Each structure stands twice: as C-alpha cells, then as structure tokens.
Structure 1
C-alpha cells in the first residue's frame, strides 16, 4: 500500500476531487456545476430563501454565496425578487430551469455514486458512510 493512500486527508481529498470532477463532466455541458447542487437542493426544500439563509444552510461564506447566486441567476436557475416586508432583502427561488437542472444533477450524482461504489458490497458502502458520518460529527464538535 502506498503511503499516500494511508493518509486520511489524501484519500478524502482525492475522492472528493474525483467525485466533483466526474459530476462536472456530466452536468457542465448543461450549464450547471457541482457547487450549485447544494443550493438547488436547499431551494427545493425551502422553496424561498434569502442569500444569508442559503449561505448558512450550505455552509459557505456570504461572498461565495453571492457569487454563486449571481452565476445561477445569469444561467436562469434561480430568480431573485425584493422582499415586500423588507426591501433590503432579496428572496431567492428556483425557476423551472433550476428544477430541471436539479433533476439532472440528482440523476448524475446517482450515476457517479454507482460508479464510485463499483465492486463494493452494500455492507461495505454502508460502513464507509457510517464511518465518514462519524468522522464529520467528530470534527464538528467543539473541542
């Protein structure tokens, strides 16, 4: 076994980059990128949100979310309108194209997941996910 494959950071980082790259190959030609997937999913679930709420839900800084939403609006994935109760706030929602691209991304993500899990048993995949979730939980706790 290569020393690099024994490093948690190397394995997790490489797996992440490969998953994102494969997803981008499938969805990029349609004008939607992997970084937009969490925003599309959140908007599907909450229907309407603000930039600040989306940044919190997705776990990114406000400037990053602003740039992402600008690209998504330009590509017709979201619509932004002024809040009638507070004109300083803009409300974000999915467009029909955004819903279509969410479906495409979901299907593409399942394809990547299936490819990544090739040769593994369902029990091995479940154990990997369980361990990964526990590690995430460990790192989210304040020490």
Structure 2
C-alpha cells in the first residue's frame, strides 16, 4: 500500500513538469524599442519561435495593446502587423520584429505587445501559440538601445 501511494504521488508531482516541458523555452516576445531619440513615439516588438518541426512554414503576427483604467488590456486600433512569413523551419529558433509608430499622446499610456505564432505544413495548421511581451529577452537585432528588453512601454 505505501508503494502504491508513493507511486501515485510521484505521478502527480512529475506530471505538471512533463506537461510544461512541451512548451518550448525559445518562444518569447519582448518590447525592444520604446520611445527613443532615434525612434520617438515608437514601440518595437521582437519575438522568437522554435524552428521545428523542420520544413514547417513559420509566421508571426504582432499587435499592440494598451492598459485600461481598470487594469485590463485592449487592442490598439490599427496596431496590427497582419501575418508575416518569417521563414521555413530548419531546426533553429527564428527571430523577427515589427515596429509601430504612434502620434504624440496628451496623456501617457502603458503599452505591451502580443505576438501570435503559427506553424504550417501544407494547408494543415498543426500548432498556434500566443504570448505577451516580457522582459529578459535581449534580441539579436533591432534593439534601441542595444540589448533593451521590457514587458511594457509607456508613451
């Protein structure tokens, strides 16, 4: 009886770890530009997705959201890149970015990015995933200043 109980507890403890292991660590999005001297009133979003399964067509879609007065998030009208083909999976993560320019606002707004990822094989869509921007992901290109990574941007 104690062995059976121990085995059941081990399954419960290890199961969440196995489930989370399916989510690739290299799927992320970050704000890599936020209202700089070179890019005033602009928000840049950089994202990375796994380059597997090999041969799949990879796409990303970038959107910007603003924080509402009640703390929720709403899409910014016309701040949507549409689907962008970012290449064919070759086994290595793929990075891509998109920038949005905004008119000067009378009051500051907190913005974040939302990126949707899509892997296609022919007409099949075996996988989609969506993430919001977070700090801690220095990107290979496009950051201003170099290495900048944030979850949000205040304009």
Whose strand fraction is larger, Structure 1's or Structure 2's? 2
Whose helix fraction is larger, Structure 1's or Structure 2's? 1
Q: TM-score, normalised by structure 2?
A: 0.26
Q: TM-score, normalised by structure 1?
A: 0.27
Higher RCO (C-alpha 8 Å, min separation 6): 2
Largest Rg, 1 or 2? 2
